[in-house]
């Protein structure tokens, strides 16, 4: 049994989820996986504590400690999962402070990732809409994870994410005094938006109802526009609000397909949307001191979006990202890896410099290694494709050995090969002539490769290695 942890530190709220799972070999595929994870603790989201713009480290440490106590686990028990830091919390000093807190309290198993909107979109989909998507096998699901600072969008079919995107659309770009529309703070994006909309209001001023509507209408229109794939015609303000372009298949919203697309929402605003649909409304405006309820009510009033929302409710709405982190962020390697020296691990924030296939030439690999040599901490290369048979493994190992010998890649620098096949130990042994060539090589197999810029590789336990990608 292992413990998986997910921590989500957002602009507005922070939350944590802990799950328990067994690492087992799939009886059909032979691949190692986490079996039947059971979430045994999911913290209610709490406001992310700040002192001014700086994260309140002492308060946040108190949160983490309280979660661990409430979940009744020892920090060292967590052996998979992740932490994500977004929005205001991801600003430079804040991110490193939170990462240090996590490292000090949980250890190496849970690595914090800051400002990775595509990963966050992916996680939110996995944490909330995955099960629904697997149930509605004939439908494409688009999940909008709407929080304080961003709307993280992901599109998936049958439980698998096919595309992600992100907008700077959220509840807390305009912060107001709770119960009023008196402005307390505006994010840089909100300032641009005010200027774009011609709203001559600043801190201390109150927004009128039409002005509030114009703001949330802009957000809604931007979401519509993005889902309709019209990002090319954007004006400057709209373009500024786009963090990661969201590319959907061009024919996704054709008339014929319209019924085959379901939209779900998650995140703090997502949760308000479903509460609004259930007939709830706030006793007074802006109970959280932001435009969350206004945005939620606007989404519910939108025919196109609400028609989907009525029929299908995803899980874990407000904590989708934390659920995604705990349950899906980490995968496990096969049990036969090439790791001559266990002390090489863990490896944190290793750049993934490229992807090769078993028939890639030595010259191409040399180019990749020369690029990789710029990374002082080493690098990872993904090897995509089936390598079967002794002849093929021997041929491929020779190509890599030659590339390593003939490139400027320092021999004492770590090189990790990530394979989706199951030949890691043999490939590594042959590349290094059974350890006689002094390459600092690790070969990890049976990993589902992802288009990512970085990878975190945990320590080996019970013959398997946890692997998590980010920077997608």
Contact footprint for other proteins (CB under 8 A): 22, 24-30, 35-36, 131, 134-135, 137, 159, 336, 338, 387-391, 393-394, 422-426, 428-430, 433-434, 436, 445
69: tokens are 């106590």
Q: Report the DSSP beta bridge partners of residue 131.
A: none
Query: Are the beta carbons of 292 and 312 closer than 8 angstroms?
Result: no
Closer to other proteins by CB, 305 or 393: give it: 393
Least distance to other proteins, CB of residue 80, Å? 18
Residue whose token pair is 């927004």: 207
Give me the least distance between CB of 21 and other proteins, in Å please: 11
User: What DSSP line would sit under 132-200, residue for residue?
Assistant: HHHH-TTSEEEEEEE-SS-EEEEEEETTEEEEEEEES--TTSEEE-TTS-BEEEE-HHHHHHHHHHT--
Which CB sits closer to other proteins, 207 or 430? 430
Closest distance to other proteins from the beta carbon of 359 (Å): 17
CB contact set of 113 (below 8 Å; sequence gap of 6+): 82, 83, 84, 85, 119, 470, 471
92/436 with CB nearer other proteins: 436
Closest to other proteins by CB, 311 or 376? 311
The β-bridge partners of 41 are 18
Element (H, E) at 469: strand 466-470
Query: How is residue 279 annotated by DSSP?
Result: T
256: CB partners within 8 A, 6+ apart = none
Query: Residue 156: beta bridge partners?
Result: 141, 161
Q: How far is the CB of 320 from other proteins (least distance, A)?
A: 17
Cβ(89)–Cβ(98) below 8 Å? yes
How far is 153 from 244, CA to CA, in rounded Å? 9
8: left (phi over 0), alpha (psi -120 to 50) or beta: beta
Both tokens assigned to 332? 């496990």
Using the minimum distance from each CB to other proteins, give the nearer residue, 374 or 436. 436
Residue 162 or 275 having the CB closest to other proteins: 162
Q: Shortest gap between Cβ of 334 and other proteins (angstroms)?
A: 8
Which CB atom, from 159 or from 410, has the smaller least distance to other proteins?
A: 159
Q: Which residue, 7 or 34, has its beta carbon nearer to other proteins?
A: 34
């Amino acid at each position: 049994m292992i413990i998986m942890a997910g921590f989500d530190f957002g602009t507005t709220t922070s939350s944590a989820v802990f799950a328990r799972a067994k690492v087992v070999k799939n009886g059909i595929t032979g691949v190692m996986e986490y079996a039947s994870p059971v979430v045994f603790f999911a913290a209610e989201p709490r406001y992310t504590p700040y002192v001014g713009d700086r994260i309140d480290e002492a308060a946040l440490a108190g949160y983490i400690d309280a979660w661990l106590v409430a979940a009744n686990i020892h920090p060292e028990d967590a052996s998979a999962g992740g932490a994500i830091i977004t929005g205001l919390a991801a600003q430079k000093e804040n991110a490193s402070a939170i990462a240090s807190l996590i490292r000090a309290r949980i250890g190496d198993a849970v690595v914090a990732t800051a400002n990775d909107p595509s990963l966050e979109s992916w996680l939110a989909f996995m944490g909330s809409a995955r099960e629904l998507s697997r149930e509605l096998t004939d439908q494409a699901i688009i999940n909008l994870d709407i929080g304080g600072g961003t709307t993280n969008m992901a599109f998936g079919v049958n439980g698998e994410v096919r595309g992600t995107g992100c907008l700077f659309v959220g509840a807390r770009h305009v912060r107001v005094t709770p119960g009023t529309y008196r402005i307390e703070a505006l994010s840089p994006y909100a300032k641009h938006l005010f200027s774009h909309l011609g709203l001559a209001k600043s801190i201390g001023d109150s927004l009128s109802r039409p002005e509030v509507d114009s703001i949330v209408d802009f957000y809604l229109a931007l979401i519509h526009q993005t889902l309709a794939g019209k990002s090319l015609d954007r004006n400057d303000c709209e373009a500024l609000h786009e963090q990661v372009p969201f590319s959907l298949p061009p024919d996704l919203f054709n008339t014929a397909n319209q019924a085959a697309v379901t939209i779900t929402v998650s995140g703090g605003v997502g949760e308000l949307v479903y509460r609004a649909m259930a007939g709830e409304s706030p006793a007074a405006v802006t109970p959280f001191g932001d435009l969350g309820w206004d945005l939620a009510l606007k989404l519910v009033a939108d025919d196109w979006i609400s028609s989907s929302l009525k029929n299908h409710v995803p899980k874990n709405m407000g904590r989708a990202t934390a659920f995604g982190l705990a349950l899906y962020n980490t995968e496990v390697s096969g049990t036969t890896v090439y790791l001559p020296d266990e002390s090489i691990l863990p490896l944190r924030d290793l750049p993934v410099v490229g992807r090769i296939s078993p028939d890639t030439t030595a010259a191409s690999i040399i180019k990749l290694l020369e690029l990789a040599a710029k990374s002082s901490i080493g690098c990872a290369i993904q090897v995509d494709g089936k390598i079967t048979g002794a002849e093929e493994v021997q041929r491929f190992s020779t190509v890599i050995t030659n590339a390593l010998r003939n490139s400027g890649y320092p021999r004492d620098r770590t090189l990790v090969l990530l394979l989706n096949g199951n030949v890691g130990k043999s490939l590594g042994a042959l590349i290094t002539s059974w350890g006689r060539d002094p390459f600092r090589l690790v070969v990890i197999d049976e990993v589902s490769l992802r288009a990512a810029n970085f990878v975190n590789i945990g320590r080996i336990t019970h013959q398997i290695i946890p692997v998590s990608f980010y920077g997608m």
